[in-house]
Amino acid sequence: MFATEEFIEASRKFVCVRLESCESKEHQDRIREFLNGRFENTAFCVLSPDGEKRLSGTGRSPQMGFGIRGRPVVGGPDEKENNQKAIGEMEKIAARYPAKAGVAAAVVQDFHTFKQALNVASGDQRLLVFTVAAKKDRDGLKKSMRQVANHPGALGRFHYDFADTVDAQWSKVVRGDHNKTGIFIIRSGEFGQDGQVMAELPLTSSAGVILSELAEANKDFAATEKRKVYSEHVEKGRREGVKYQDNMPWGEDRDADGKIDARRGRPGGRGRR
């Protein structure tokens, strides 16, 4: 549903936030609020502009949040109908809260860590725009980067991250020449554990220059990046022993006892896979 043109267009009338629940306890606690103390890998809710009042129900998908019943077959006619119902509910909410600023003023994405940004960029198969600058300059650069991230030619095509203290060792996992500061266009490795600098720009670069470099880098990336097949990708990662260590315990807490459920096939688990 989220990848359909209709949903993407409808979502532009909202501030869309993806909670990073395996990296932040604060985010994980937020999901528990939505799911009555449970923690599961997805949760959905539409909030008012103050971020407090719930304008929809809560659940693990837009359909559940809007009370749309049934679990139609993926790609079937019922799925399309349910998607349209969810979009219709979104349109009703958006009409009650007209935007006070354009898309160009939207906040630029910033991950908790470079490690996470590199991993997500690999999973989504997008290039990562990584900005390394002194702390005193960071807020100004985030504002200036809005012209890039929200430009029609770049919107939704790249991921963005800004270096913080926790990212001091970022260059050790990225190949290619790079200075201590700058704007780096990075191609993640197959499993998001390493990467390659495709282009490096000074912090003073104009939005036009950055957009031009992104277009060239993305052209090369699209021509050489093979689309991942999820099941094959996961199986290859297991064979090669690839692991990603989250900041928070991985898993779900479906019984809402405040602890991540034991994994199946392990001591205390619920049966074997």
Same domain, 47 and 122: no
| Domain boundaries, position 12 | 5-100
Count of residues in the chain: 273
Query: What is the CATH classification number for the domain harbouring 111?
Result: 3.40.30.10
pLDDT in tens, 170-192: 999 999 877 889 999 999 999 99
pLDDT in tens, 24-60: 889 999 999 999 999 988 889 999 999 999 999 998 8
Same domain, 20 and 62: yes
For the cut 60, the answer to whether the pLDDT of residue 73 exceeds it is no
Determine, yes or no, domain membership for 217: yes
CA 190 to chain CA centroid, nearest Å: 17
| pTM more than 0.95 | no
Same domain, 48 and 149: no
